[in-house]
A = this chain, B = another copy of it.
Amino acid sequence: MTGPRRVVVVGADAVGMGAAHQALRTAAKRGESLAVTALEASSHTSYSACGIPYWMAGDVDSGDDLVARTAAEHRDAGIDLRLGTEVVAADLAARTVTTAAGDVLEYDDLVVATGAPAVVPDWARRPDGRTYDGVGVVKTLDDGAAWVSSFAEAGPGAHVVVVGAGYVGVEVAEAALERGFGVTVLTRTRGMAMLEDEMSDLVNTGLVDAGVELVLGAEVTGLEVDGDRVTGVRWDGGTREADLVVVAVGVKPATAFLENAGLDGSGLELTEDGALRPDPHGRVADHVWAAGDCCEVRRRIDDEWVFRPLGTHAAKHARALGDSLAGGDLSFDGMVDTSITRFSSSGVHLEIARTGLSRTDAEAAGLDPLALVTEGTTAAGYMPEAEPIAIWVMADRTTRRLLGVQVVGGRGAGKRIDTAAAVLWAGGSVDDLAWMDLSYAPPFATTWEVLQIAARRVADRL
């Protein structure tokens, strides 16, 4: 090899570029150089997809605010960034990728950071495959710009139907309420199905209290349309007129370009859903690396691979990948299934967070879980800051190990999940959580922090 090592990054969003910058930093520290080329199908790079619902709500003024690093910043760092360049095929044996324009690029190392586009069900599409006018997903900056513009055009009294009640569905419901629209949320299962039933019920109640029409167990069967424009949504139990329909039913790894890349014998495998399973250094096969939403992540508690397309895992894995690719040894040692969101509109403010296993996960892992919900307050009961909080704590009867915690409550409730996540990270017991030295002052907690009261109640019953 005569020149510097050639690294081709497919997908130049936050993960790909995070990995690229880290690789360049580590290489520079080691006195080596890399030639990094980054290929991005869209015209955007390094933005916060998680911020889009808040742009839709009006909390964020401009899509530019969501851009963490501009194309110019990447190029200034020496990265050959090519926007509007879709990769359609790869050859792992020949170490090449092929773009939609027919260009073939050779690589010494390939970084797959293609993410996971939002799923668009058939019912949302016109015969020509495009979505009906007024229908869309919430994933890219272009999606965000389209929604901001649709929201501005929709007059007062417009009605928004949100299909899906996961994180994005709940955040978009907030955005639509904040814009003054009527809102219907349809979900095939429950609201926030990543929570246990009793916690998800609290979210459902909050949505309804804020004026959302919430329909649980609704399987969407089709749209009502007028020409190319949506006018309503049909589901197995009813219909609703709609000016706008937001589809938030999940995402799927963008790894189709690898399917005919010569996987046999390459060491690289795709799951049934098309996901990659990189090791802690981001390696998926010789000279092939991956991180972010196109990957599953390892859950430390039960050592299972799960699909959790979240920016925070992605950023950590990208850093480990970039460092390892350049000869470092940083590693991403899995996660404990922590996530958080909020629903805040129309006088309702709910912070919603979870970490660890669900009861179903625990039973699948052969554990013997005991779980309880405890209600309390986020501050001393006599303080104006005190808001209600409900905490679900699950531990194993045999080992007393903490297995999972979920939180739904007012201001100050959500970030408490991090303390539980730290205990799970360390493999600690419910007694650790109950007795450890957490902070107390009246504006912040009860004398026994409510997380600890919740843990103590479980500990007492094990």
Contacts and interface: CB of A to CB of B under 8 A. Distances in A.
A344 B443 CA distance: 10
Interface stretch (A138-146, A223-231, A328-336): A328-336
Of the listed residues A65, A415, A422, the one surrounded by the most CB atoms of chain B closer than 10 A to its CB is A422
A60 B414 CA distance: 25
B312 A48 contact: no
Contacts of A439: 312, 338-340, 353, 355, 414-415, 417-418, 421
Contact of A342 (B54, B380, B444): B444
Contact of A448 (B54, B315, B436): B315
Nearest to A335: B437
Given A51-B380, A419-B418, A436-B422, A441 B341 contact: yes
Nearest to A436: B425
Nearest to A68: B447
Contact of A54 (B54, B424, B425, B442): B442
A120 B193 CA distance: 58
B418 A336 contact: no
Contacts of A339: 439-441
Nearest to A341: B441
A274 interface: no
A316 interface: yes
A430 B406 CA distance: 26
Query: What is the count of identical protomers in the complex?
Result: 2
Interface in A426-452: 426, 428, 432, 435-445, 447-449, 451
A444 B315 contact: no
A388 interface: no
Nearest to A299: B437
A48 B438 contact: no
Contacts of A28: none
Please classify how large the interface on chain A is, using the bins under 10, 10 to 19, 20 to 34, 35 or more.
35 or more
A216 interface: no
A426 B418 contact: no
A303 to B, nearest CB: 14
Contacts of A337: 437
A380 B48 contact: yes
A311 interface: yes
Interface in A335-362: 335-342, 344, 351, 353, 355
Contacts of A340: 439-441, 444-445
Nearest to A18: B447
A15 B417 CA distance: 28
Contacts of A341: 441
Contact of A437 (B59, B65, B425): B425
Given A313-B437, A425-B432, A425-B436, A415 B417 contact: no
Contacts of A336: 436-437
A50 interface: yes
A448 to B, nearest CB: 6
A211 interface: no
Contacts of A383: 51, 54, 59-60
Contacts of A315: 447-448
Contacts of A423: 422, 426
A384 interface: yes
A46 to B, nearest CB: 11
Which 10 A-B pairs rank lowest in CB-CB distance, beginning with the nearest?
A422-B422, A340-B439, A312-B440, A426-B426, A335-B437, A65-B382, A425-B436, A418-B419, A338-B437, A418-B438
Given A339-B439, A418-B419, 20 more contacts: A48-B447, A51-B442, A54-B382, A54-B383, A312-B440, A312-B448, A336-B437, A339-B441, A342-B443, A344-B443, A355-B437, A355-B439, A412-B412, A414-B444, A415-B444, A418-B439, A418-B451, A419-B421, A421-B438, A422-B426
26 contacts: A14-B447, A50-B441, A50-B442, A50-B447, A54-B383, A59-B383, A60-B383, A311-B440, A312-B437, A312-B447, A315-B447, A332-B435, A333-B435, A337-B437, A338-B437, A340-B440, A340-B441, A342-B444, A415-B445, A417-B439, A421-B437, A421-B438, A422-B423, A422-B428, A425-B432, A426-B426
